[in-house]
Amino acid sequence: MVSHPSILAQLDTFVPSLIVICGPTASGKSGLAVAIAQRLGTSILSADSRQVYREFDIGTAKPSLAEQQQVPHHLIDICDPTETLTVAEYQTQTQELIQTLPLAQGNAPLLLVGGTGLYICAITRGLIIPRVAPQPELRLQLANLGQKQCYAMLCQIDPVAAKRIHPNDEIRTVRSLEVFYTTGRPMSAQQGEAPPSYPILQIGLDCATPDELHQRIERRTEIMVEQGLAQEVETLCSKYGADLPLLNTLGYAEFKHYLAGDCSLAEAKAQTVVHTRQFAKRQRTWFRAYPEIAWFDADANDLVEQVWQRVQEFVEAIAIG
């Protein structure tokens, strides 16, 4: 790693700090993060809800082995596909890393990088999350009811939570019901915020126009197909069964239908692009709601230098106190 000791040497005592790089999918977060992490001599913490699962590599755009060799990455490949990592568990593991990792790397701020807004908010805003373990039998019963009925139930028992959850969001709907039926209290009544005291810099990466991001999504989908996305899905279906919940997520669901003969390869790619665009739009809406995020143009020729200047200012401010 190429670090800049002239900046980090100013931090004489341990001060936990964090730099977030967030934004919609395909905006180039991983590449920027590696470049900045190398200059800082620091590590990257993943904030991606699917990259935590082993074997789900191509379809999640997991950092390549080369990238992981250039910069230490954490919170990647920490769960088997048959396991479920809750937001609370992710939060606990990430908070522990933030408190311990900098001690071994000269107090450099860690980079929290990804597009899962809930993961990022869990850290930056210190979300208070109900510690309720997954309930497999209850989840099965809810799954058998179907999303439409589950969401209707949620609207009745926890209307506050229902307003925050899209009617088609099965994961968050089931989780909210799970918390209610396990604790007897609505999930919304058990939530709050306890923001961390350490300094945080939040960098947002996005394209100037939706069309530019759409082009990036199309290119990345083509690259995933060339890297063997269909083969990855086929292997996962064979090993875990086509009904594995993770195989119903973006990219995997479309190619699962292709492998089942329900659509052509071209149709699977087209549907992946469409669904990824829709997902990116939701990510944009989420992140734009947070004024603390400083936005940068993903296509700027001097993007790394722009962000690096902002990072220097952040570290120097910490040193001054």
CA distance 127 to 123: 7
Is 321 among the annotated ligand-binding positions?
Answer: no
Q: At what angle do helices 87-100 and 117-124 cross, to 10 degrees?
A: 50
Same domain, 255 and 147: no
Is 23 among the annotated ligand-binding positions?
Answer: yes
Q: What is the pLDDT of residue 5?
A: 45
> Which two structure tokens, joined as six digits, stand for 75?
């919170």
Q: What is the pLDDT of residue 320?
A: 82
Q: What is the pLDDT of residue 318?
A: 87
10-residue mean pLDDT series, the chain (321 residues): 48 78 97 96 96 98 92 97 92 95 82 97 95 90 95 96 92 93 94 94 96 97 98 98 96 98 98 97 95 97 98 91 72
CA angle 99, 101, 103 (to 5 degrees): 85
Amino acid at 202: Q
pLDDT digits (tens, 9 = 90+) for 29-53: 999 999 999 999 999 999 999 999 9
Q: What is the pLDDT of residue 291?
A: 97
Q: What is the pLDDT of residue 13?
A: 61
Is 24 among the annotated ligand-binding positions?
Answer: yes
Q: What is the pLDDT of residue 290?
A: 96
Same domain, 68 and 159: no
Same domain, 292 and 242: yes
Q: What is the pLDDT of residue 4?
A: 52
Q: Model's pTM, two decimal places?
A: 0.88
Distances (CA, A) of 318 to 12, 101, 104: 11, 17, 18
Which string of DSSP letters, residue by residue, matches 259-317?
Answer: HTTSS-HHHHHHHHHHHHHHHHHHHHHHHHT-TTEEEEETT-TTHHHHHHHHHHHHHHH
> Which two structure tokens, joined as six digits, stand for 61?
């755009």
**CATH number of domain containing 11:** 3.40.50.300
Query: Residue 178 sits in which domain range?
Result: 136-190
Same domain, 24 and 173: no
Q: What is the pLDDT of residue 125?
A: 97
CA distance 245 to 143: 11
Is 25 among the annotated ligand-binding positions?
Answer: yes
**CA-based nearest residue to 17, from 79, 93, 110:** 110
Q: What is the pLDDT of residue 107?
A: 80
Same domain, 247 and 235: yes
> Which two structure tokens, joined as six digits, stand for 12?
């004489």
**CA-based nearest residue to 35, from 168, 205, 286:** 205
Amino acid at 128: I
Same domain, 121 and 237: yes
Same domain, 209 and 284: yes
192-193 and 200-206: which strand pairing? unpaired
Q: What is the pLDDT of residue 32?
A: 97
Is 117 among the annotated ligand-binding positions?
Answer: no
Is 46 among the annotated ligand-binding positions?
Answer: no
Q: Is 118 exposed, middle or buried (0-12, 13-18, 19+ CB in 10 A)?
A: middle
Is 17 among the annotated ligand-binding positions?
Answer: no
Same domain, 247 and 265: yes
Is 133 among the annotated ligand-binding positions?
Answer: no
